[in-house]
Structure 1
Amino acid sequence: MDTFFLEFRDPLFGVIIFFVLIFVITFFSYWFARLKKREDYRHLDKFLKQFHSLPSQNELKVLITKGELSEKSWLLLANSYTKGGNYEKSIEIYSELLKVGDKSNYRDTLFLLGKTYFKAGFLERAKQIFLEILKNNPRTPQALNYLLLVYEQMKDYGAALELLEPLSELSKDVTTISAYLNSLSILNSMSLTPDEKAYKLLEIYKSSNHLDYLIFEYIFRVNPKAAWENFDASKAELLVDLLWSCDKKDLDFDIIMQNGYLRELYTAKGYIQAATKSSVFELDVLINLESKANATLGFEYICDNCKVIYPFAFSRCSSCHTIESSRVELSLVRDYHKDFSEENNSFQ
């Protein structure tokens, strides 16, 4: 008995007991956490099973009303539907949240619904939503910007231009967007002749020094002479695809011979022999090929703001809605037009 009490009072015995207690606590904590995690996964799986097939509008109403998922989670789910292109389900979620969701988030949810309508192409519904937001909260620049985009898509440029005043009062620079909307208004006018449009566009260009691509793309088509007379050769690289596609009969060789980049470009095209090399790889290859290979320039257009790549030119990015953010990337491609011409000639 005395031996037992001696061992009990031994410091080593206390250390052993201490580590045994730590082991027991750790063991039970570990298994409790595993069971809790398994229970959470079971609850999540049960919830996600409801979405193996897209829920109907009535099912969504019941699910949102139950409150099993937070409003933030529903907003994330709606956003994922929008990114996946399923605007209908996204709209249903936002619409239901507006009825039963937190009223403090009402304006934000309404704005997201308006954006989704805009992306889905329901412009009239989007317009009504943004007007409702602005009716109660007139100093909301996001709603003003999207309403302007809606009017632009609807080609109601007069209404879009009216929004520039409140945007300006909110310390937004509206110089470029004003020139852009006025240019679109001119281009879509039914009362102006092509030459009248060209000269009005040149007035905007001279006063703003913006929108080179939008303006010169039109002028090179309808009045090449006026385009060359007002062309700023220092911006040739910005308009390289337009210059490349110009007919030889429409070129102003006096201007071309005074600019190194233009000499290289049209030597690569085969119209002149004024350059032996180029610092631009694609032009250098075409110059050295001297039309011995069936190759030409290809073009891609990158938005400098959001980095989205497009196969076609644009003045306003359809992804981030930035104006004048397009950058042209050159590539070497097969000249199918030349192939087609040679095939036609072989049948004659």
Structure 2
Amino acid sequence: MRNYFITGLLSLAAAYAQAGMGFTELPGLQADGPVTVFYPTLGEGQRIQKGPFSLQLDLQGPPVRGNGRLVVISHGSGGSPWTFTNLARTLVDDGFVVALPRHRGDNHKDPSSPGPDSWKLRPAEVSRAIDTVARDPRFALLLALDKVGMYGMSAGGHTALSLAGGRWSPAQFASHCGANIAEDFQTCVGLITRLTGGVFDGLKKTVALAVIRQKFSDATWLVHTDPRIRAVVAGVPLAADFDMDSLAAPPVPLGLVTARQDKWLLPRFHSDRVLQACKACELVADLPNGGHGALLSPPPPADVLSPLAQDLLLDPPGFDRSALPAVDRQITAFMRKHLLP
């Protein structure tokens, strides 16, 4: 009997090692956008074109049992699922099912409401993405949803910190910008404009602060809890508007990925503040030469980005993308450590 058991395990392991990555889109709940799902499958798939990306995926391939756990990924501002495909593949190779909700008003098809208006909605959209996967009969029997992992990058990192127990407010965002508009300008205005050192910089800061203070005056602390989420990693997160006391002792394991050359979300205002406040948090990976877009893998082609977005998202000189597979493995190892029995 023991030999049959060992043989069965070895056969399962061999099949598992050869598994491909399945892909499907599920309709979101409550008028949410679609939820993209990547998962283990035995099919090799084919090249599929998604916007500027050519990806090897098994479209609608039948799922096979992996490790029984789900990880949700929250994309950054204006983002899409496709720039997280390499991380998703590493997670899928390790047996995880991966779900990516399309965040309302702040995605590659609809960038109309970035910033705090989107940040208010995102955590609940992550919870509903879990519900969406749970309702699909292809996945319902393959997953145990009492321990779900969550990863978010940039604005998705803000979502991750919220789901790790952090509280924030629009007024705190306005307060941060009021105190640091010159040094952290891109956090406050996004891709609308930039400071150039020219004569109009003062006017840009004055106008930006007037709009921010008028629009984001609500001092209500915003929180969202989902007891199913039991491990969180925040990659280059927007964090300056959080009450750091709320992140000092997160109720779930919280890891961070940082990029020292980030010009959009300067680490000293964001990820470093979280690490300083949270002594139990784990620095999952640090990219000393990485910019804000280092964790986008595959990265967006330069010709689809504005000149400002190119400057903020494309890799700075000296950054070697061959480091990214190791980062993906470290994120996956964090999830395995905290989600698997």
Task: Report the TM-score when normalising by structure 2.
Answer: 0.25
> Which structure has greater strand proportion?
2
Q: Greater relative contact order (Cα 8 A, min sep 6): structure 1 or 2?
A: 2
